[in-house]
């Protein structure tokens, strides 16, 4: 369960950063979203040997390599649907709310915290449950 929690924490942080960048930068989104889609389609078992062998060779006489490999592989099972959900939730925020944020002179962090994150909360909660179950 600790591995799952660590992988979920990494997935959540990745989701917030990656989804925000892609949602706010159209040029970046043209690369980031297809890349995310490609990475999502790769089965976890296809890079399992490389991750496990690589991390065991980096940490040869301890279980740290196996633990990190477990966390990384769980992360790859959890992160994709959370990130897509967050990205599309931010893209779907009504323009009226964005304009209101500008009228109230909210900076980017305040807009993220008070407009975008609450708008994406339902999708994040739902996809967090799905990711946890699938991880």
Q: Cα-Cα-Cα-Cα dihedral of 41, 5, 71, 109, to 10°? A: 70
Domain span including residue 7: 2-134
Q: State the average pLDDT over residues 39-61.
A: 90
| CATH number where 100 lies | 1.10.3720.10
Of the listed ranges 43-47, 78-82, 121-125, the least confidently predicted one is 43-47
As a whole number, mean pLDDT of residues 100-113 equals 95
pLDDT, tens digit (0-9, with 9 covering 90-100), for 68-101: 999 999 999 899 999 999 999 999 999 999 999 9
Phi-psi region of 105 (alpha: psi -120 to 50; beta: other; left: phi over 0): left
Contacts of 44 (CB under 8 A, 6+ apart): 73, 76, 77
Q: Which helix (H) or strand (E) holds 45?
A: helix 44-58
């Amino acid at each position: 369960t600790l591995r799952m929690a660590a992988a979920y924490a990494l997935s959540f942080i990745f989701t917030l950063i990656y989804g925000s960048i892609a949602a706010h930068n159209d040029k970046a989104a043209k690369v980031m979203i297809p890349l995310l889609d490609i990475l999502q389609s790769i089965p976890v078992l296809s890079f399992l040997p490389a991750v496990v062998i690589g991390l065991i060779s980096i940490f040869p006489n301890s279980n740290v390599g196996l633990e990190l490999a477990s966390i990384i592989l769980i992360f790859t099972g959890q992160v994709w649907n959370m990130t897509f959900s967050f990205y599309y939730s931010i893209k779907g925020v009504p323009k009226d709310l964005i304009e209101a944020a500008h009228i109230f002179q909210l900076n980017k962090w305040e807009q993220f915290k008070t407009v975008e994150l609450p708008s994406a909360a339902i999708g994040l909660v739902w996809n967090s449950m799905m990711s946890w179950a699938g991880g």
